[in-house]
Copies of this chain bind each other. A is one copy, B any other.
Amino acid sequence: MTDSRKPVCLVLGAGAGIGGTVGGRFAMEGYHSVLCRRSDQADLDRLTNDIRDRGGEASGCLLNATQENSIEDLVEHTESETGPIEVVVYNLGAQVGNKSLAETSYKIFELGWRMATFGLFRVASSVCPRMVSRGRGTILVTSATAAVRGNAGQHSHAAAMGGRRMLCQTLNAEFGPKGIHIVHILIDGSVDAPDTLGKLLGPERFAELRRTRGMAHEGLMLPSAIAETYLHLAKQPKSTWSNEIDLRSFSDSPWWND
């Protein structure tokens, strides 16, 4: 029996940057996008309404991904109520800004792991059996420079992201041959995103940065452009998959250069 419902694109970490934009892009391609984020129902409604205004299907859900059973229930509920999850966009970050070792509490260190590593393990544990039974599925994992090199002040972030990357490789080793496409996407530069960079810098410095480096200068990565690459990856046929890819602005040095 074929599932007559629309395939679902499940986005974990759907703010007004990569997550929300990718969700919107997949909705335009015929997916039902389920956008999940921790807080701000109003902004979440804005995102899903915007998708619907453009003719797409979307629903939203507030979710504390570190809470027990939150991800597991979401997967269960989405599969039974909305449709088969064909694409997962794992977009939960764990950047806490630069903190010295003394400033990095055990709690912060553990939280990084819960968000960036364990959360991916949990969602994979929930969706992979379903994807295997359908013989297909895609898990797009947003990652960061900290996944490939540790830098001062990044104790929590790098440990968590390094674990995330190795987890992507173990998942691919087991599930690639079963038709599940897992991609580690290294976001190796600053994204023009009010919910992450904007909050990190504050409104004034963010506006200044957009003026001097972003916008016409094209020195900040655009979520809409990132979304095109996510979509391309999801469309790659089984014969020709990417598992690791990097992304940065033309004016940003790659991680291996600075």
Contact = CB atoms under 8 A, between A and B. Distances in A.
B250 A159 contact: no
A24 interface: no
Interface in A115-130: 117-118, 121-122, 124-125, 128-129
A173 interface: yes
Interface stretch (A8-16, A28-36, A160-168): A160-168
A80 interface: no
Interface residues of A, number: 82
A70 interface: no
A149 B173 CA distance: 10
Interface in A66-105: 100-102, 104
Interface stretch (A54-62, A194-202, A213-221): A213-221
For the complex of A and B, 9 pairs with smallest distance between CB atoms: A150-B169, A162-B166, A150-B170, A225-B240, A163-B163, A149-B256, A158-B166, A152-B173, A159-B163
Interface of A: 100-102, 104, 106, 109-110, 113, 117-118, 121-122, 124-125, 128-129, 146-155, 158-177, 179, 181, 192, 218-222, 225-226, 228-229, 232, 235-251, 253-258
Nearest to A235: B228
Nearest to A244: B246
A124 B150 contact: no
Given A106-B118, A154-B173, 5 more contacts: A150-B167, A155-B174, A173-B254, A219-B239, A222-B239
A239 B253 CA distance: 12
Contacts of A154: 170, 173
Contacts of A237: 218, 222, 225
Contacts of A220: 239
Contacts of A218: 237-239
A158 B177 contact: no
A161 B151 CA distance: 17
Given A159-B164, A240-B226, A258 B258 contact: yes
B250 A117 contact: no
A249 B239 contact: yes
Given A236-B229, A240-B221, A257 B166 contact: no
A250 B162 CA distance: 23
